[in-house]
Structure formats: structure tokens, C-alpha cells
Amino acid sequence: MKCEVCKRETPNRYCELHENAYGNIMQKFEVWKDAAGMSWEQYLNEIVENQFTGIWAKEVAQHLLKNKE
């Protein structure tokens, strides 16, 4: 398989770096959605626009925004 974000060869849906970033995003959303009542989409936009977000998380957030079900 190839990482859905960067197309690196990986046995999973995401490579190790993007998998880590994805895990962090999911984990933090649990907190944010309770604390700030944010929707998934608002939250992803927040990540993309936040200058303090790491590049890996930003790439994953952009990818998730583009591929909303």
C-alpha cells in the first residue's frame, strides 16, 4: 500500500509519520469537541490554519478535508 497522504510505501493506510499525526488529531478532537463544541470539519480547518500545527498534522488534516465522506 501507499500512504494516502504522501504516497510512501507503507503496510498501512498511512506511513508511520502520518499515522502518528492522524492518531494525535483523533485524540485531540475528543477533547476539542467537548470543550469547544467544534464539528469535525471546523476542527480540521483549525488545524490547517493554525501556524503552530506541525507539517505532518497539517497534511493529514488537509487530506481528511479533501476526502470527507
Q: Binding to Zn ion by residue 6, rule CB under 5 A? A: yes
Q: Minimal CB distance to Zn ion: which residue? A: 3
Q: Which is nearer to Zn ion, 17 or 43 (CB)?
A: 17
Q: Binding to Zn ion by residue 58, rule CB under 5 A? A: no
Q: What are phi and psi of 20, to 5 degrees?
A: -60, -50
Q: Quick check: 61 and 47 in contact, CB under 8 A?
A: yes
Q: Which is nearer to Zn ion, 4 or 46 (CB)?
A: 4
Q: If you ran DSSP here, which 8-state letter would residue 9 be given?
A: B
C-alpha grid cell for residue 48? 490547517
Interacting residues toward Zn ion by CB under 5 A: 3, 5-6, 15, 18
